Amino acid sequence: MPSNTAHTNVPPGAPLYAALDLGTNNCRLLVASPSGPAGFRVLDSFSRIIRLGEGLSSTGALSDAAMNRAEAALEACGQKLARRPVQVVNAVATEACRRATNGPGFMRRAERALGAPIRVIPAREEAELAMESCAPLLREGDRRALLFDIGGGSTEIAWIRTDGPEQPRLIGTISVPLGVVTLVERDGPACFSGDGFDRVVQEVAGRFETFDGVHRIRQEMRAGGVRLMGTSGTVTTLAGIALDLPRYSRAAVDGHELAMGCADRALEALRSMGPEGLAAHPCIGPERVDFVLPGCAIYAAIRQVWPAVGITVCDRGLREGLLLRAMRDRRRARRA
């Protein structure tokens, strides 16, 4: 799949698709057209931190300020969609809208702002879409894959079978209601201290141990043929630090095989920077300072429970999965 920041012309008459992910922390849009048998060319993109889940863990509801930020971002996305003859718009919302008591009312506002329907998807579908987008990074010889997605309001883990003639298949999934936004709101700057960071790691690891007990993932890893894959700002930041990038580059990071020793050193480097160092780093920036170490604590819990030899870094997720699914469905409909 191509870069999600390219802005390219397409042949006249080529079908255009859009995918929007309204998350707990970000609002992201891709507009693309099919390219080749199973890929696409990105025409336009949008990404803005909206902190939709701000205050949700304490009040159970979306705040007026958060809804206003999201609405403004959705209006900007709607303007992008209006500039192109987009035939299919797939827009989804995730954990914040699943949990909020005022979620249904907000969704009506959100749809008006975007000018298109938005579905609130369950956690399992979220994992399925991430799996679909990351499947092209699997390699021959992989029997299983463990895919993690550290979000704003939750962390999804997908356990995937990859050794059959069919497409990769989801064996099991878990959604832990701890993400970078929920941890920031609950624990504040705790992850900047050694003790606070370790407490979060042990709490999250305990949630994952239950999932491992059902599926025996550690045992499968010891047998070999299991690929650990990560799709989130946390894992792409770790890769950017490990590669010592002067600025973030999707082309350098997406699909990179990050050795665990390199990931460990990158994690320690991030923990040693402090807030000012994180804000100044070209792969992070001031808007993401509060979220980096909470995400790293969740990653460290994954690292503790499932000690793989490395991580396949995926700078792709829900939007790419939505696009691939929509394009595949259209091809099937044409053949029918």
The per-residue pLDDT for range 296-336, each reduced to its tens digit, is: 999 999 999 999 999 999 999 999 999 999 998 888 777 76
Split at pLDDT 50, 70, 90, the class of 50 is very high
Q: How far is CA 286 from the centre of its chain?
A: 20
pLDDT for 247-273, tens place per residue?
A: 999 999 999 999 999 999 999 999 999
Asked if pLDDT for residue 54 goes beyond 60, the answer is yes
The answer to whether 251 and 335 have CB atoms below 8 angstroms apart is: no
Which tokens is 123 given?
């956690």
pLDDT of res. 336: 66
Classify domain 17-121 by CATH number: 3.30.420.40
pLDDT of res. 153: 92
Asked if pLDDT for residue 1 goes beyond 60, the answer is no
Which tokens is 264 given?
């460990």
In single-letter form, the type of residue at position 335 comes to R
pLDDT of res. 124: 93
Asked if pLDDT for residue 223 goes beyond 80, the answer is yes
Say yes or no: do domains 17-121 and 138-313 share a fold.
yes
pLDDT of res. 113: 98
The angle that helices 123-134 and 318-335 make with each other, rounded to 10 degrees, is 80
pLDDT of res. 261: 96
pTM for the predicted model, two decimal places:
0.90
Of the CATH numbers 3.30.420.150, 3.30.70.1400, 3.30.390.30, 3.40.50.720, which one belongs to the domain with range 138-313? 3.30.420.150
Asked if pLDDT for residue 10 goes beyond 90, the answer is no
Report the alpha-carbon distance of residue 97 to residue 214 in Å, rounded.
Answer: 29
Report the alpha-carbon distance of residue 23 to residue 280 in Å, rounded.
Answer: 25
* Domains in the chain: boundaries: 17-121, 138-313
Split at pLDDT 50, 70, 90, the class of 161 is very high
Rounded mean pLDDT, 158-187: 90
